[in-house]
Structure 1
Amino acid sequence: MLPSPNLDDRKFEQIVQEARRAIPKWMPDWTDENAHDPGITLIEMFAWLTEMQQFYMNRVPLRIQLKFLKLLGTKPKLPSRARAAVSFSGLDRSLMLPEGTKLDGIDQRFETVERIVLHPAKLDRIIVRTDREANDYTSTNDNVGVSFFAFGADARAGNRFYMAFDRELAAGDELTISVTLAEEEGTTFVPARHPQQEVVPSAAVSWKFYGTENQADLAVSDASGLGAVRPSAWLPLDIVRDETLQLMYSGTITIRIPHPMRQVMVHPANDRGRCWICCTIEEDGYESPPRIEHIALNTVQAVQQDTHVVLYDTKGNGKAEQSIRLSSHLGVHGSLRVQLANERGQWTDLPRSGSDSAFDYADDMPRVTAGYRLIRQPEAGEITVIVEGIAAETAASMAGKPLLRVIAYSDELNDKRLIGMTNGLPGQKVAVYDHPLQNGRFRLQIGQLRDDQWQWEDWIEVDDFDASDASDRHYVWDEAAQELRFGDNERGLVPTASEKPNICIVACAYGGGSRGNVKPHYIDRIADDFYADRGLQVTNHQYARGGTERETIEACIDRVRGELARPFRAVTAEDTEFIVRRTPGVRVARVKALPLYTKGLADYPREQSPGQLTVVVVPASPVLTPKPSAGFLQTVKRHLDDRRLITTETHVIPPAYIRITVHAVIVVEPHFVDEHGKVAAALNKLLKPLDGKDGSPGWTFGRTVHKSDLYSIMNAMDGVCYIQELWLDADGKQWNRTPSGDIALPPYGLVYSGEHEIELISRLNV
């Protein structure tokens, strides 16, 4: 017998005790809590009723729980697939690697997520130069877990980061560079899904290489009238893509060399000339200076999955001939089907034309006017499908609509793509034993044989038929039972009966789970002999991450409870602070929301600005007084503007830092006269803007620095008899000294410690 889920494990006694503990808070006048009191009797009765409700709730079956979750707009998550950055080497010439190239990591299959141009160049030197020093970090890059600052610890404008290659790159060559940054700890960080759209860079960098521009472009006239070539110089690189967003994140940078490279010596690598590229900070502003953990060339993302069928659709161009160019592993090395659509959304298989341009029809191939030719280019990692003979009326009516489809199958699935036949009966179930299909990761077509010609229609997977009507081509896949279910012509269309297998897989991928989270250098084999035989090698320098198992119903319920309690609109100050802390793409160390406030109010909160909301943010940074860049503030404001109340105007500002210097004369026991450092450490721990690693809180925004706070700290220290004198100095903007000598801060103000002057006097000398 299957165990029933326990939705609430509170027992009768626990419910009674929780209610009795709440009496002093809600009913302070109720003082008699003995068993004879009628109120206690009512509490016990309602506790019994609550326990009975829980008993019936625990008998809610799984099917009903899933319905409740659906009403909340969610469901248990599918197994997620691990991802890793994989680097290729071992080439003696450039090679195009198509999307979906299959790799092996122990017993797990991985695939590249996009095409990449591989180059035989290797990384030879890594140099960091600042205005004070130049360092060689080549050996540091080879050690996992060791990092270095890309532009020095201060990351000022003008600092440079150099990389040298072991050979010259020709004009037009593309190279992909993977940069892994050391992860920050101790702050909330939500990666941005689309950093280029959501995050404004905190700094600006430029990329250059040392080379010579084309003679045709830079020929200048000399005295003889002949052309002369401008000498080599540092020239701008073409940045094809920058996932790091100015080296703010880990990711890849794809560069293109516009002109030939030349060798040059860069200090301190003065032993010989090398081919260099250089990254320079043009505008500083990094909250945390970029700290590089590893750099690798020829790197692309790989995902833990095994794709056996993949399809590509393209829209019509209104002409009788149309071509599709694909850079796909299955397209280049697998079996293909090419289909043509009609106005009713039905697809027809096209025959492949022969070398003499006469279509080579198979016996079971329908007689259609169109056909296709293939141009395979394995070395270039792509395939071109050329479709000819499209009827004029079809081409015209389907212009701008999905017209052509290319379906690529792996060799092992090509002969098993048909998984069953339909019987035309309502509620049909089709068991599938040969394929471990996964929810949401496959697609089906169902065919109808009309006039000796197959017409294929796309069917869509749904979780259930609750929202399906009689015309919807929907099916449900029960992964546990490994069976397909179709509708009954009321909830979902009943597929037409067929005497031949007509349920066809047109997209299918396997994978997912925690086993894909493999260690570094475990993805070490290319599954395709075509590339392995050419000496191509692969490895992952970092862990593969992100693979999880299917979410259980209990975990899903807990997640939904947390999501329902999580603010998603900035209604209160607490909501605003919660949302700002989780701004995607930036690390926020501290935040303070000031409702009804704009910068400049002299007596807040008694003076107020209706409709205004000011948010003070402090970025995570290793410096004592972190200051957000203009890009950081704009990123937070964009995120907040999408979630604010429509009548509210938001302002995101940096904090005002006030340096506090304490001058104190303290009378202590004789053997404590040399403990100046302990007193200064206690003051530094109190007067700091950020939370400490030991859990000590940072200074509260806008809180006045009272001398009484300092008296309390110092009087509590061992050996202190009394404080003879105490006064405070402050340095900064917008602060005021009160008549009692305290330091009043603005609402967005924070303090940090200066050089405290502490004088300790033995009580014997007083």
Structure 2
Amino acid sequence: MADDDLKFDFLPQLPKDNLDDRTFEDLVAECILRIPRYCPEWTDYNPTDPGITLIELFSWLTDQMLLRFNKVPRRNYITFLELLGVRLQPPASAITELTFYITEPDIFPYRIPASTEVGTERTTDEEAIIFSTDRDLLIGQPTLRYFLTSRTLEDTPRVLRDSVTHQWTRSEEGEWGGSEQNLFDEQPEPGNSFYLVCEPDEPLDGNVLAITLKGLAATPTGIDPDSPPRIWEAWDGEKWQPVLLKERDDRTKGFSFNQLAEGGDNPIQSADIILHLPLNWPVTVFTGYEGRWLRCSFSQPEAGQPGYVYSPRITSIKVSALGGTVSASHSMVIREELLGNSEGIPGQTFQLANAPILTRRDDEYISVTPLGGIPQNWREVPDFADSNPDDRHYTLDSLTGTIQFGPLIQEPSRLVKGTEDRARITPLPAVGNYPNRRGINADGPLERQYGSIPPRGAEIRLRKYRSGGGRRGNVERETLTVLKTAIPYINRVVNYQPARGGADAESLQQAVLRVPKMLRTRDRAVTQEDFETLTLEAARGGIAQALCVPPTTSGEAGTVTILVVPAANTEAIEQGDGLAPDKFELGAELEDRLRTYLDERKLLGVQIRLRPASYVGASVQTQIGLEPFYNNPQAQEILRRQLEVILYRFLNPITGGIEGKGWTFGRPAYVSDIIALFQKVPGVRYIGPVLLYEINSTQQGWQRNPEPVPQIDPGERGLICSWKDRRIRSSHVINFI
């Protein structure tokens, strides 16, 4: 980027002295005044005289030099950033969770190694987007240890009944069975629960379990089999998390076995309930029972939803593993890349074959093998400021993939020594009261090595690194389905959550804007602005907006709440579909990344709470009068699509608002906003009535208000969003007059 392309209007405009305030006219006049003194025979000063033309030419050149002389070049500002150690941030990697389903392996636990690669389907237009798992996934062999029931629903169960230990027996296959047992009370009430406690020895974090139940077909329970009022949850060490991913994963139909009864005559029916456990499913002790806890509870029925009239009854239960879920990031893993051989000189650099480079992990480092020696592990450092000559350090530029070893820096005493050596050959004359420099003390090192130098001829190899990142990694759910790494027993793989947090590399302009905030926060979170700035910095562009809100009650003192809007892929906006609120979900992996970054910079005792923003949908209906040029169906359709895209872009948390940098928290959407927006579009002659329809989130999902409103107010901490969904009629309607 050229220096003149950078605008520093955001900096304070302090008064600046002109080192030379002469203008072009002043320079020309001064030269003409000097003509009689230096060239008296020159008497024609008209602009047509060739001499005057030369004077104007050199005056113009001098004026340009004075202009640069009076302004510190913007390049110096960039150099100042380099002295501060500011580097362009590399792309951020999108993160998601991958679920692997296995055929029955012979040995448990079954291990799916870290860095297993899964990608999207490759098309003729686009390359596949590759994700790799962040850690090993262990799929254990679960065994049911306890079957407990409770009349009330509590976060910490206190009163539990073990009603099957002495009535059921466990087979060698791990199936518990015997006489019929009630899951709830004889007269069920909301809050009735039963708990399944698995053996603690097996690794079951993130596993996908199949709960196989047997019971009488078409058991009379009083519920609607397609909408049973029950909820499955697992204890993750802090809270109970829902683990039934989709309603169709409950093949018992709420323990009624209704669907199975329609397909056979066997009175005893068996069906599975598929549960996706949290990534952290620890061993916990409740009321003296130790293990990994699951529970199913009779939830409060919603309006019009029938509840349990009779308790479901089962005759046996078994738990088995079908697969597991593990976190993954948009990256490609490269192993054992040979960089070359050392020349034994300071500051030698090497270039990686793939760039940019993602944040390094513990097993990603450089190995240096001297000739005839054993490999040495070297450590990456951000800079060589604290490196001693014997420290095996190197730096790695994440954006360009350039590796550098320790440089040799000449100290000031070296320059003094060189001057003294030259003085012995040619004595320096004394000037006034200043003697020559022969007496200068040149003690101390002449030069200093920062960091060790690999021995000459040593082989330099990077053991492992990950390359990737960027916005294109923000893929939608159920798009990562192609296994790129050959692993036996894998039936299929899928991502049930969209990938979020991917961002492109930082531009120079963005870095220039970031530095004043960086100098203010000093990498510490104290004020509200500090928390917002560091939240955006933690995700490296993976967060579009962040709002730090003050506590509303005295009980929240010491707690910092940050509303986060993750960056999403905006291609759907340009396609005229908009972005639904579920595109801005704050995934567990992104939340962990933000929390870890902020915990290292917050004050002691401060608790951080990350929350997704609240959204209110907006749908626009209007009539447009067009210029005569657009009185044909093809042109009208193009303009209609253009206007829809403009609306989806404007009413959006990421690209919306007056400045196009995201809708402002708490700002309502007015009819006048839409009118002002359309008035800027070429071809629009006049605008008819503009109707705004509000779309709100309810327990049944998103619902559109049937009556138009003069404005849509998202609330003090809310944002406006718009998207296309024919089921709720959330799309924009533009009719031409």
TM-score range, shorter chain: 0.3 to 0.5
After TM superposition, the score normalised by the length of structure 2 is: 0.34
Larger strand fraction of residues: 1
Give the TM-score, by structure 1 length.
0.33
